Amino acid sequence: MKALRVTLQSLLVSALLLAGCNRRAADSNAANANANGAAAPPNGEQASSEPSGDARALYEEGLAAYKADRDEEAVEKLKRAVELAPDFPEANYRLGLAYNVTKQHEEAEKAFEGAVKAYEKVTKREPKNSDAYYFLGLSYEQLGKYDEAVKALKEAVKNSPEESDDKYFELANAHFKIAQYDEAVRALNKVLEINPDNFPAQELLEQARNGAQRVAEFRKHQEELLKKKNTNSNNSNANANSNAAPSANVNAAPPPPI
């Protein structure tokens, strides 16, 4: 079952980071669907306005199929939901997940692009909607656009009515992907402050600290090389000036007679 795979995958952050997408967040969000089948992020906000009844029904059927490992059925149901309601953000996002599971990566990319457009519309209407920013960030992550994901997830964290370790974790993951290790460390420390038992955060924190140390060592090495280069350049200039002084004296015209 997907729930078992999610548990195993959440304990193997290294594998997730090497993979093209973050299944931890994807399947965790699917598992957190509310009774109506809508996305229910950690604080329970609504990420979008209500779609039509038929689109909602298809979305619920598609999400149920996805959770039951009936992935082809999930694709068909969610695709029909998006056709009926192109601006239905959750349906676009879940359709992207279902396409990924069925190895239809080009179609998945299109679905996530649709999710980005739909969630951006939500954030323009509702600039304080933390969960819309959260799923916008997840959609950007799925597309490998981590700079944009960082911006969206910062807004998710800032506007969240209560602190969420999931949101801070995704922010940390996006920072990590673009080698912003110090920022990732800060976000992960926040995750563990909220939830000390978040084991994926503990593993990613170790990797982020190692990355920050490598960057610090590289910068120190570069500074030493630059300092050495400047010292050598100054010594060369001093030697050149020293050699030029006697030559100037030899060739200088004699002083006029008194």
Residue 5 confidence (pLDDT) above 50:
no
CA 196/CA 175 separation, integer angstroms: 20
pLDDT for the residue 184: 97
CA 138 to chain centre: 7
The residue type at 191 = V
Q: Is the pLDDT of residue 213 over 80?
A: yes
Confidence of residue 219 (pLDDT cuts 50, 70, 90): confident
Res 44 pLDDT > 50: no
Note the pLDDT of residue 255. Answer: 57
pLDDT of residue 256: 59
d(CA 7, CA 49): 31
Q: CA 201 → CA 3, 24, 107, 124, 170, distances in Å?
A: 19, 12, 31, 31, 10
What is the tens place of the pLDDT at every residue in 123-165? 999 999 999 999 999 999 999 999 999 999 999 999 999 999 9
Q: Is the dihedral of CA 146, 18, 26, 83 positive or negative?
A: positive
pLDDT bin (cut points 50, 70, 90) of residue 26 is low
Question: Looking at 2-6, 109-113, 193-197, which range is the least confident one?
Answer: 2-6
Domain residue spans of the chain: 2-213
What pTM does this model have?
A: 0.71
Query: 2-213 falls under which CATH superfamily?
Result: Tetratricopeptide repeat domain (1.25.40.10)
Q: What is the DSSP string of 12-64?
A: -HHHHHHSSS-HHHHHHHHHT--TTS----TT----S----HHHHHHHHHHHH
